Structure 1
């Protein structure tokens, strides 16, 4: 059984994969081309499946200490009327843990702290090589060739390794939505832990943090590549007339802190997540829209499942086959659900369709609404030790 791995990509999925592999006794090197590993600038909601994966990796306690649990909030319309209330206490009773809101930088820091500094190679570009043993995996770093038993490609939605392994695959496509987001520069507690507000072709949401600040995001259905000279002013023009606390969140934001990204997804599912001694993980394997908040959670599931499969199987090849069989159906189903959720949320523009959706939401019992979250969050990680 192999015992050395190179993880390409130092994001949430890549760091989690490295922690999982080290937990089963592997020697791991994480290669990240960015000069600084911080993943700052936004927030994230972690459902029970993501929290359980972090527990299995040994970093759940640190993440809980940095997070604010989501008990209150829900979904509204721009005028402020509630479509559905969030029942975080019910979710906690059903799943054993509530949803946790945390700055991405804090999650990233907790994962990074679980790895020795010597395992991280930042500011390094990993180039593929074909000169190593075909039964192994290798990369080139500057003038050095790193030979390993396994390569984990966690290099994001535009994964170079996915394109190399599956040259006939169309790759990521624009989802039709672009998102502007920021964390407030000062405490601006919005009064609830988590909210979404749906308007025609638009969505505004917030996540409240433990320190009183909040992350907000503004989603627009728009052509790809559109950018604004003053992104915060553009958000104010579109959402400034929506209900409180949206104007207050925008007022508490520095213009320089606003990030703007087009949302891409792997609309065409991959035929497999592995090839030879290479495993695709996270967005590289199943990039999805953020509409049900499962992108990072699925990457964390990948990391734990990969390590468990390699630990349980007699060969790397058998472990990778097990990883693919366990992760591909689930993550691709979650990606489909995320896409459908977007179409029913900010993706609607027709007034009749919006009215029908809003009526259905208001008439749906709380327990039935919670079942949607439960369907994706009910996941128990395999044991690593």
Structure 2
């Protein structure tokens, strides 16, 4: 079976590694960029993703690059505690949660693909322009040397939120819808906050600040801290996603966010670089698979970062697709089984992230106590806080009991 993967991001690289582990050897990845530069800032891989990477033999490599947060804490815009819970192994998972630089993760996966499938498996400078359905299916690319036509038994669209394959299947869809929120992402070297192993989210539905460590302390006791500053009504949906911006106006937006456990404006001001992103997602699709093509990752279900789940779900897509393609009686049945396993769940999760996912506790606190509170339990009962956290874990597939006990997605040969 020849398999063509469109896109060499996390989803595409994870798909290649998963398919190889399942016994497939004829795999090629077609990437529109002329170089894989490992761009981006921090992301979180939740325990369900680390389980899959562990079964691919990569967890140790990733943990060498990452920090394993042990706690997640939500506060209001005054720094008052709303909810805090253990994460990773501290929460009873068999696998940790890992905070890692997205670019370093992508390069690690790229290197693993080259080790296991060969140096020439990734074809750079290939922009998908068309699909000719059939058995095999033909993928048409624009390259620096003219048009290239590649025949494959399966074509996997792993080409992100601006997916060319998705646009071919849904030509009237248009640009991703904007939430009205703008994100500014950056990395700062600073003193650790709280216990140095906590991911914090502060704010409400209109303004928020997220921070978590990306490194262990250096010789001076300082760590790299990834942050996301978020504000409604700023920026535009047409922002250049790789454009660095002046930190000054963002510092001003968070001028009063100095708490006894973190100095938000100082972290923003000291960033190496700040990139601006509109908070956009994609509407749920009624169908991912057409003929012998299908979508995975952001190409299938790009969603807001509420819940820190985008990269993790891309890895789960890749593993599920490899399992179903390998164990089904035919390609068509394998693709159908993959979509049935993943699309309904991702449709529900996308709706949950639009409703702010587990960050709903911050919205509730702001609505019920806009000027702050003395005790959060006077504002939100403990049962309601617990219910929000549990419901999201169940929707995203990483409730500890469920994850620890579910069957492996590895194909036993």
TM-score, with structure 1 as normaliser? 0.88
Query: In structure 2, do the counterparts of structure 1 residues 331 and 237 end up closer, same or farther at CA, with 3 Å as the change threshold?
Result: same
Matched with 1:181 is 185
Whether 1:157 aligns to 2:161 is: yes
Query: In structure 2, do the counterparts of structure 1 residues 329 and 307 end up closer, same or farther at CA, with 3 Å as the change threshold?
Result: same
The one of 241, 244, 268 equivalent to 1:250 is 268
Indicate the SS of the match to 2:203. Answer: strand
Matched with 1:383 is 410
Matched with 1:69 is 68
Alignment length (residue pairs): 377
Matched with 2:331 is 316
Matched with 1:13 is 11
Q: Greater CA deviation, 43-52 or 217-226?
A: 217-226
Residue 290 of structure 1 and its aligned partner are, at CA, apart by 0.7
Query: In structure 2, do the counterparts of structure 1 residues 345 and 84 end up closer, same or farther at CA, with 3 Å as the change threshold?
Result: closer
Residue 218 of structure 1 and its aligned partner are, at CA, apart by 0.8
Matched with 2:352 is 337
Indicate the SS of the match to 1:34. Answer: coil
Deviations 1:2-51 (A, max 9, x none): x2111111111111111112222232111111232134231011111111
Indicate the SS of the match to 1:139. Answer: strand
Matched with 1:197 is 202
CA contact (8 A) 1:162 1:284 kept: yes
Indicate the SS of the match to 1:44. Answer: strand
Indicate the SS of the match to 1:324. Answer: helix
Whether 1:260 aligns to 2:271 is: no
State the superposition RMSD in angstroms. Answer: 2.8
Deviations 1:37-78 (A, max 9, x none): 134231011111111121233322211222111113401122
Q: Which has the higher contact order (CA 8 A, sep 6+)?
A: 1
CA contact (8 A) 2:131 2:137 kept: no
Provide the rounded CA distance (Å) in 2 between the counterparts of 1:348 and 1:139. 49
Taking the TM superposition and a 5 Å limit, the aligned residue runs for 1:204-353 are 204-211=209-216, 212-222=223-233, 224-225=236-237, 230-242=245-257, 243=259, 244-254=262-272, 257-267=273-283, 269-341=284-356, 344=360, 351-352=367-368
Deviations 1:190-211 (A, max 9, x none): 3342100014611101121124
Provide the rounded CA distance (Å) in 1 between the counterparts of 2:228 and 2:363. 15
CA contact (8 A) 1:163 1:171 kept: no
Query: In structure 2, do the counterparts of structure 1 residues 260 and 71 end up closer, same or farther at CA, with 3 Å as the change threshold?
Result: same
Matched with 1:88 is 87
Matched with 1:139 is 140
Query: In structure 2, do the counterparts of structure 1 residues 364 and 190 end up closer, same or farther at CA, with 3 Å as the change threshold?
Result: same
Provide the rounded CA distance (Å) in 2 between the counterparts of 1:240 and 1:319. 53
- In structure 1, runs of 5+ residues without a counterpart are none
CA contact (8 A) 1:188 1:248 kept: no
Provide the rounded CA distance (Å) in 2 between the counterparts of 1:143 and 1:157. 24
Residue 135 of structure 1 and its aligned partner are, at CA, apart by 3.9
Whether 1:120 aligns to 2:118 is: no
Taking the TM superposition and a 5 Å limit, the aligned residue runs for 1:24-35 are 24-35=23-34
